[in-house]
Amino acid sequence: MNIAFIPVRGGSKSIPLKNIKPLNGKPLVYWTASAAEKSNSIDKVIIATDSEEIKKTVLSFGFSKLEVYERSSENAQDTSSTESVMLEYIEKSDLKNDDLFFLIQATSPLLKSEYIDGMYDVYKNSDFDSMFTGVREKQFHWIENNNKIEPVNYDYKNRPRRQDFAGLIAENGACYINSVENIKNEKCRISGKIGVYELPSYTSYEIDEPEDWIIIEALLQQYG
């Protein structure tokens, strides 16, 4: 079985109740829930929340695959990790070790069902233990080290042309695939031999701050 797991808390400080705040006319969590619902690879969509208001909102979508899991308040704090609620759900569910767990984050509404299906196709035809979605960045990165600043991914004395520059892969936080067994053993969303499924650069945006809302609304209008 392939499970899409979308954790959403009621207590967001930066944007109150952001997971059900309207984004282009739909609650934020609708966009990723809809992508998972439409995906041919997903058998069940689990929305894990501590909020009765969010629960009522997501059930109103009428999605046939969707179920609500009432996460514990202990794992719905500002300091709670995503892994903590993943492990809580796995412990209380009847999932098998070889079931696949697709972690999807509501703050990445630019995720599409075809991306989920494409990622799964790569996963099942590879020897990867887990995968994440990412975007290729072609910026030149530097790091501060012992009061010195040093280049990370290029030689500034031999600056490459953009078309010749491989760049870096950045997680965009949209989707992760791993087996239930690996998550239980490693207590991490990715583990073992890790693969990346590259998405278009515009999917690098996630909603964390109010200004992200404006950018992603425009991108949704542009890219649907």
Distance, C-alpha 218 to centroid of its chain? 20
**Residue for token pair 């599409």:** 112
Q: Whose CA is closest to 134, among 111, 152, 160, 109? A: 111
Q: Which amino acid is at 215?
A: I
Q: Are the C-beta atoms of residues 152 and 141 closer than 8 Å to each other? A: yes
Q: Helices 52-59 and 28-38: crossing angle, nearest 10°?
A: 50
**Residue for token pair 């501590």:** 50
According to DSSP, the β-strands at 130-137 and 66-70 are unpaired
Locate 12 and state its tokens.
């967001």
The length of the chain is: 224
The catalytic site residues sit at: 159
